[in-house]
A and B are shown apart, each in its own frame.
Chain A
Amino acid sequence: MSVATLDLSRIAPAFADPVRESQAVFREVMECMARPGRVTRFDRAPMAPNGLGKAAGAVALTLFDFETLVWLDPALADSEAEAWLRFHCGCPLTTKAQDAAFAIVTDMAKAPNLAAFNQGDAKYPDRSTTVILQIASLEGGPVVTLSGPGIQTTTDIAPQGLPQDFWTQIETNQAQFQFGVDVLLVASDQLLALPRTTTAQIKGG
């Protein structure tokens, strides 16, 4: 979508009070990143356009700007969601997963492997991609037990709608520490974090 054809009437509003709301969202995301598996809810976040949930939208409004190259799911190409992100965050978009600081994946059936994103540099592992995976629900799926830094003993999660080999990808990702992507699982207005340090075990698996 070019600037000339940008139709402002089609762009949904973002945070009403960007300073306060982005701070509140960040604190929740920070607690989730510090405590993998902890589920938080952004029920007061603005409605994001079609294809994006409230949680994915809130994270984008809080963390994206002109400094962050964002890989957007091809399913959202030329969508209202893309225009919304461009307008409110001012973030440049890329189709090269390897270059992305953040990625938003909405079509799990065609989701790229986590290894396709930037894994970071040996000296600068912080340069890896933070992958926002939007799935059906954070509840009701197969139970997975998490452990690692931020978790006292273990904690159980049950996300629904992840690809078959997702937990194998997470295992590979965790095993190559200090390299690796950090994952934010979002569904509607809910979010949980799976940083690269987290070990996952499918219950009964």
Chain B
Amino acid sequence: MNTPVPARANAPERYYNYAYLDEQTKRMIRRSILKALAIPGYQVPFGSREMPVPYGWGTGGIQLTAAIIGPDDVYKCIDQGADDTTNAVSIRRFFANVADVATTEDTGEATIIQTRHRIPEKPLKEGQVLVYQVPQPEPLRGLEARETETRAMHAYEEYGLQYVSLYENVSAYGRIAATAGYPVMVEERYLMSPSPIPKFDNPKMAQNEAVMLFGAGREKRIYAVPPFTRVRSLDFEDYPFETQTWEETCALCGAKDSYLDEVILDDAGDKMFVCSDSHHCAERRAAGHVGPMAGHTLDQDAALKEPAQ
């Protein structure tokens, strides 16, 4: 855990209010969070503010975190599962700076985990909040461009179009082809985008012990899944929902059951598969687990790392 020693909350050298946002904005976001929790899976419109990063870099998640974070929190931020990617490092530094919080890479000791496109491998527990960064909160947007229409579809539970889309997948590809952002039904009422997490992570949403909050800054929507809530990935009886599996194990820690990224190592096409959850992998290696390429530094070719989908 890293405990920064930044300027005091009201010191003149601090140019912003605690946690960056002004208090009125925080109150507005807090009210939206409470309604989002009361109506699981429903998208609450909110007055999204301009943040000091561009849209698409996590403005929704940052605003949610800013509205809930306090000096006693321990903050973790991951991007595609990794703590050490640019986006995650920048956002973690941002909150260490503006909110005086301790930061960590340890999933178990974090109280707020902000995530872009993964759910950590380690099961979450009561007292933790998982904040998702969401690019497109509307699961039906690819099928219906008009917000007025999609809002009515949610209001009247008109989700036939979504099932037609899945059926078209089956007829074209022989399976439901979506691998990330796979739509889910919350408490058998609201169709929800899980954000672009791999469908591998979808089952972790159901009956999760942590509070899950979703923020879309550009699209100005907040939604939530309370703990112990039913979350079902859409499927058909004869085409049941399935998660990804790999024939490979993690090259560094040997994990057989975690989500793996394929990493190209050189121009000759050599590659390795490694855990996308960097803390999970490090923890396993520290515990003595060894994969087939253990000790590989990745250094010389790190720049070639493929972004995972």
Interface residues of A (CB under 8 A from B): 18-20, 22-24, 26-27, 29-31, 33-35, 62-65, 67-68, 101, 122-126, 128, 130, 149-152, 177-178, 182, 195-197
Contacts and interface: CB of A to CB of B under 8 A. Distances in A.
A30 B33 contact: yes
Nearest to A19: B18
A126 B33 CA distance: 10
A30 B34 contact: yes
16 contacts: A23-B26, A24-B70, A27-B68, A27-B70, A30-B33, A30-B211, A34-B226, A35-B227, A64-B27, A65-B24, A68-B31, A122-B156, A123-B155, A149-B230, A150-B229, A178-B39
B1 interface: no
Contact of A65 (B27, B40, B156, B189): B27
Contacts of B24: 65, 67
B145 interface: no
A125 B230 CA distance: 20
Nearest to A68: B31
A126 B36 contact: yes
A195 B38 contact: yes
Contacts of A196: 38-39
B78 interface: no
Contacts of B207: 152
A122 B35 contact: no
B49 to A, nearest CB: 14
In the A-B complex, list the 6 residue pairs whose CB atoms are closest, starting with the nearest: A195-B38, A126-B35, A150-B226, A122-B155, A149-B229, A34-B226
B211 A149 contact: no
B71 interface: yes
A151 B155 contact: no
Interface of B: 9, 17-19, 23-24, 26-28, 30-40, 42, 44-45, 67-71, 126, 151-152, 154-156, 187, 189-190, 207, 211, 224, 226-230
B31 A125 contact: no
B42 A126 contact: yes
A179 B167 CA distance: 31
Nearest to B10: A19
A126 B68 contact: no
A195 B40 CA distance: 10
A197 B38 contact: yes
B17 A19 contact: yes
Given A27-B68, A35-B226, A197-B40, A177 B189 contact: yes
A155 B44 CA distance: 28
B100 to A, nearest CB: 10
B18 A33 contact: no
A26 B33 CA distance: 10
Nearest to B17: A19
A123 B33 CA distance: 17
Contacts of B37: 30, 33-34, 150, 195
B219 to A, nearest CB: 16
Given A20-B70, A67-B28, A149-B187, 11 more contacts: A20-B9, A22-B27, A23-B26, A26-B30, A26-B67, A33-B226, A34-B211, A65-B27, A126-B42, A126-B45, A149-B230
A62 B27 contact: yes
A158 B17 CA distance: 41
A34 B224 CA distance: 9
Contacts of A197: 38-40, 187
Nearest to A121: B155
Contacts of B211: 30-31, 34
A131 B294 CA distance: 58
B34 A62 contact: no
Nearest to B209: A152
Contacts of A150: 37, 226-229
Contacts of A195: 37-38
Nearest to A61: B27
A5 to B, nearest CB: 27
A127 to B, nearest CB: 8
Contacts of A130: 34-35
B151 A123 contact: yes
A17 to B, nearest CB: 9
Which of B68, B207, B226 counts the most chain A CB atoms within 10 A?
B226
